[in-house]
Amino acid sequence: MKLSEYTDYDAIGLAELVANGEVTSAELVELAREAIAVVNPEINAVIESWPASESGNANSRGGPLAGVPFLIKDLALSMQGKKLELGSRLAQGVVAAEDSLLMSRFRAAGLVTIGRTATPEMAFSTTTESTLQGATRNPWLPELSAGGSSGGAAAAVAAGIVPLAHATDAAGSIRVPAAYNGLFGLKPTRGRSSNGPWLDEVFAGFGVQLGVSRSVRDSAALLDAIQSHAVGEPYVTAAPERSFLSEVIREPGKLKIGLLLDPWNGEHTDPVIAAATSSTARLLESLGHTIIDLHPTLGVSWDAFVQMNATIWTATLVGWIEGLAAATGRPVDDTTLEPATLACFRYGEEEKASGFAAALAMRNLVTRSVGAWFEDIDLLLTPTLPQMPPVIGAYGAGAESMNGFEWTQRVFRHSPFTPPFNVAGVPAMSVPLEMHPATGLPIGVQFAAGFGREDTLLRLAGQLEQARPWANRRPMLWAGRRSE
């Protein structure tokens, strides 16, 4: 198999070739490593890679993803014997002693993990430009951000290095880079899979894990692979009646879909992105769905919403940073942390227990408000992001003069459509249906559903993938093209 052929397949397609004996998993791994050599110097998505012999996967179980090369994000899960640095100088060189539960699920699915992808420091950004690992660039236009915090994962998949990669999402970190890089990105329901055993609810239940992919069915198969509960889980979501993969080819029926074009912060979406989202609404109507304009409320003001997130995020960050400092013997200062992270740490140190309790009470208000939306509609359609990707370096400008709350305001202003669904714990997805008419850059649209309703999202995503295919769209930096 040539590299140009390898990059044409999604993960399930590659697994079928392995199962049929047409190619070996080891051959696929070498092709993935060749792809890294071809495009990674220009995008800086993969920060470490290793041969199949170091993946630790015996590939003993068959399945729709068995034998497929895979990458893990440098955050939130651990792979025994491999570094876990969280994009931070504070954690530089830290090696995981054991697999996390999610990593064990990836192994059981037969995925062959061959490397780590870049993340912003502690994932507290929606661009991927850390001091430790450098900037990850967008394969569609390298001077632009690849998004974050799963920017390395998204850039690697978009450039053809692997067909899918692990990603996390606590405020949009799957959906934001999926939108910027022209990928499918599904944020699962809270409690769908485990963050354990060393992490529990991650930012009071906001953080979940799955991946980014070029096809809907790959993300569905990955969700099947990680759906699980372990002893002591803080949240448990019931297993689905059918496999998520089977939902992709099921008809969604006639859905009632709310349409929201401008975010809750009172600002306006870029007219091109608003028009693209409206174009998706027209496509949905042509498929028989009902679209209604909707202006749902969060149950709290936008400023209060951001304050709640700042409190929960920064207070949680304090424990992470103090734990890393104790483990490494390094100081917590500007020699180990970036200005924004250090500001968030200091802000979190000043938070009181009463303030954290108040934030949890506000989380309850938002969760109940968002949950009530889906009593009247099946799905909510929004832009994934209100603006196109920023140029590298623009996002962090002036961070050295900000406090932790001001940095949180910047993060949430950049991505206002995504975090309410993390707070509420409901599933949401970014679908790469649209393109910028002038630049050809991808534009993602977001759909959110009620608690536990990934099935509805996946059915619609499968229908949309057929109605407006994106599989043959290729970015400027594409491993298959560069190898020819």
Q: What is the pLDDT of residues 1-11, one digit of tens each?
A: 999 999 999 99
In this prediction, residues 93-109 reach a mean pLDDT of 97
In this prediction, residues 153-165 reach a mean pLDDT of 98
**Taking the chain, what is the end-to-end CA distance rounded to the nearest angstrom?**
13
Q: What is the CA 269 to chain-centroid distance, rounded?
A: 21
Whether omega before 197 lies within 30 degrees of 0, making that bond cis, reads yes
In this prediction, residues 106-126 reach a mean pLDDT of 97
* 218 has a pLDDT exceeding 50: yes
Q: Residue 482: what pLDDT?
A: 65
- E strands within 26-104? 46-49, 69-73
**Residues 6 or more apart from 58 whose CB is under 8 A from it?**
none
Active site residue 173: yes
How does residue 483 score in pLDDT terms, banded at 50, 70 and 90?
Answer: low
Q: What is the CA 298 to chain-centroid distance, rounded?
A: 22
Q: Which fold has domain 3-482?
A: Amidase signature (AS) enzymes (3.90.1300)
CA-CA distances (angstroms) from residue 201 to 58, 114, 194, 393, 417? Answer: 30, 27, 9, 32, 22
Q: Which residue among 149, 194, 215, 430 is the active-site one?
A: 149
Q: Is 106 exposed, middle or buried (0-12, 13-18, 19+ CB in 10 A)?
A: buried
Domain ranges of the chain: 3-482
Rounded percentage of the chain residues whose pLDDT exceeds 70: 98
pLDDT tens, residue by residue, 391-440: 999 999 999 999 999 999 999 999 999 999 999 999 999 999 999 999 99
* 86 has a pLDDT exceeding 80: yes
Q: Residue 54: what pLDDT?
A: 84
Q: What is the CA 238 to chain-centroid distance, rounded?
A: 22
* 201 has a pLDDT exceeding 90: no
Q: Which residue among 73, 215, 415, 483 is the active-site one?
A: 73
pLDDT tens, residue by residue, 125-140: 999 999 999 999 999 9
Q: Residue 60: what pLDDT?
A: 45
Active site residue 53: no
Q: Which residue among 173, 215, 430, 483 is the active-site one?
A: 173
* 59 has a pLDDT exceeding 60: no
Phi, then psi, of 7 in degrees rounded to 5: -70, -10
Structure-token pair, residue 102: 């999610």
Structure-token pair, residue 70: 């895979």
Active site residue 149: yes
Q: Residue 299: what pLDDT?
A: 97
In this prediction, residues 38-49 reach a mean pLDDT of 98
- Average pLDDT across the chain, whole number: 96
Say what the alpha-carbon torsion angle 331, 335, 336, 341 is, to the nearest 10 degrees. 110
